[in-house]
Structure 1
Amino acid sequence: MQIGKTKEDVFEVLADAIHKYKKNKRRFPIIDKIADELVQYEVNTRYIREIFDNPEEELPKQDQRLVCLFMESFSQLSGIKGIDPTIYYTPDEIKSCRLYSGAIEREEVLTLPYTFQNATQLTHNTYLVQISCKEITQLSDGQVLHYNLETQREPRHVKRIEGIRKIPRVYYQNIAEMTELLLEDKLVPSTLVFNAAVGTSDEGTELNYNPRERTLTVNKGTILDNLDGYHRQKAAMRALTVNPDLEFVFPLIIGNYTVSEARHYVGQLGKATPISESRVQELIAEKHSAEIIRQLELDSDLKNRISRTEENIHNTSYLVYYSTLADAIDNNFSPKSKLEATKISKNLVEFFNYLIGSFPEEFIINVNETRERSYINRDFMFAGYVKLAKRMFDENIELDNIEKIIKSIDFNKNTSPFKEGTLYKKAPKRVIEHTEDYFAELDLRKIIEEME
């Protein structure tokens, strides 16, 4: 270390810098960017995520060469002053960091051999399987899935302390948009292409195909290079951090190519006919309600309580279906721009924090027991709550009155004015409309006055 500096100093200033960066609600895409910069050192992306989530606990656990490399990239990408590694590490120590390789830790986390089910042989060295977002993340975290700069198209060249470095060319806006579509279950499945690089297996052959069982095994030691789908890989990993139960599946072609064959394949992809940016925007245009719900999932007490499937949420901790919430937001707020959506997000986050925080027994602690006797935490009721939120904002009613308003409503299943909605699936449209009408007709100021 430099004179007067210690490892503890590094941990402290780096942790402070991370918290400073996260104060602005920023996390992505800098994690992906750091991972891309450190790809040549085979750094496990999981470590970067863990450092960002809990720097005080995680930094002392990591190899100090990795901490130095992380510090350098974070300093360059964030622009935060005071975390340049040259302040703390000597030139020889920084040089030593360049020798770090995450592959050394592979034996602890390696997931190979790995067997894919329902595999189909396309050619003598090409196979078709399916892969989930969880599998993509596990293979990446296990240092099995790689980005090979020798076979990819147009890497970026960046200047760093040791000189010019090649890193992946990544379009983070594309990753962000695909992440949103994955979380909304709206991303159209498209085929990924991995290459089980020839000559990397510890067992002679990289792939073993069993036509009788229709299984494809990736043998131990094999390096899987992502030939096509790096942005989708990053989006899948990012989406999984938001929704660990994400079940989206991609078609996947696994080839067994040499470097020259892999380059030829990528070259063929580069000749695909491009689509104009305007047409792309037209094709993938999405409702602004998606961004609002994303903020609710990130910042409100609805986190992990919004179901993205239409499967029965009875006996689960989910409170509302994504579609119910999205339709209610569109019907009541009709956001026309991202700026407007941001303002609505802030208001709804605050509203639902007041609502759920005022009734933790019904919304958090005893969700399913409450459902048996009350409508208060049923899916269709959230259409009414969004209507209530809109009215409170429009009529300048303070949110601390939510508890009074909700307590004035009869949610009891035997005496409630609400129409019956089945407990085992999403309520029909007529029930949702009836609920919205009920909240639209409430005399809010009279209720508040009477409940004083």
Structure 2
Amino acid sequence: MRINKNRELLETEIKSFIPLVASTVSKEDVDLIVEHLNKKHGIRTSDIYSLFNNANNVGKLELEELALFGQQCAINLNIDHIEWMNEWFTDREQKEFESFQFVDMSKADEIDFPMVISNVSDLGDGYYNCSLSKQQLGRLYKYGKLNYNPNVQRGMRKVIRYGIETEEPIVIQSKVNEIRKLILENKFRPNTITLNAKQMSSLDGVELLFDASKNTLTITEGSILDIVDGMHRMLGNYSAYSKRKDLQGAFPITISNKSDEEIKRYQADLDKHTPLTRGRIKELSDVSFVNDVIDILKSSGDLKGRITTSTDNKHTLKGSDFIPYKVLHDEINDVFVINSRLDAHKIAKDINEYLMYLFGLFGKHEKDEYRVLFDADIFEGHLTLVKLMKEQNISYDNLEKIIDINEFKIDNPRWSEYHVLGNKIGKLTKKDRRNISNYFVKLLKEVNNDV
């Protein structure tokens, strides 16, 4: 591979391709990818289709299979596949890939569940302590049994890959490389890796079975283990295992079988190795119904992909593309009274409907000189309109009458006066925020007699 490229980085790249292909490429074209790889290179169709069911299965592929699959993804995503191949592989490797033919050999290191772990201690409250060898962890990661779940990670970042926003773990490659080096030299001091058996993933209906009489823990068939804490150690160990299969030693492991919500609360107490942003701390520790509203906004509607916990500051964001979780949480909390999950679902539905009209009517101004209308600090004003229009039974069709786009030009002195155009998002004073909300109330009042 090219200098500064390795298998781990390639797997990360391929994993980012898979959801893009799944969401933008037709089923017929996916079938053509599979057919091409099978007929020309003998790669099993089941191996390729399995990637779309679980992207972690990339670890099961040989390097040649990864390269050829990545090339087909690039072609179908309208990426310059020649440039992509040149970025990752030498000319000699590319020639070898062209003539590659898959040979179906039994994989001696393949591992699957059910799996029985011995010498397990019951820590109470559904947590178990055990140890897994470095070889076992390497095999589990390779064969897709260890999963990155962004819902329970302590830190993740939003990235734009080929025009589509995705989430990926915050990985500091230098840390991974250092851990790999120490493991290969048998000098790494292992500390506890925390895993959580994802609920509803088992084919048996329950993911973990503890036998107190034998001190054994069975991970049942179909279960997926989310990496809760220890991503860098896991990647460093897998990198070392990829280089040398006879690794010695083990890691202490804590395994649980909790819901995402319980793991989020657990994560809020784990601010040790990678400091959390205030927004991520708020999200993980939040037990109010505001979080239910935001979860819905994150998964559907015009704010999908725009809410981030990777930063609290506006100057690190790209214009109004993203809104920090903490800012959104505070604004929803200030405007609405939410007493139940039912309230949360109704409010999220109202917000999404409002935003559908807002983007439909004014979306073309997101990036031009009238983009103040979409600034994250302005969002509390929009929420105020959502609440008042719902209470007064005013249709969102009337937004075009209520909002005068000319008032949201960036050179309007009002926005400088309210400190909206500064870089420190969420740092507005109470007076600034009150002024913004009052301004939107005023907009509604001015046309209320006509609607």
Q: Which range, TM-score by smaller chain?
A: 0.3 to 0.5
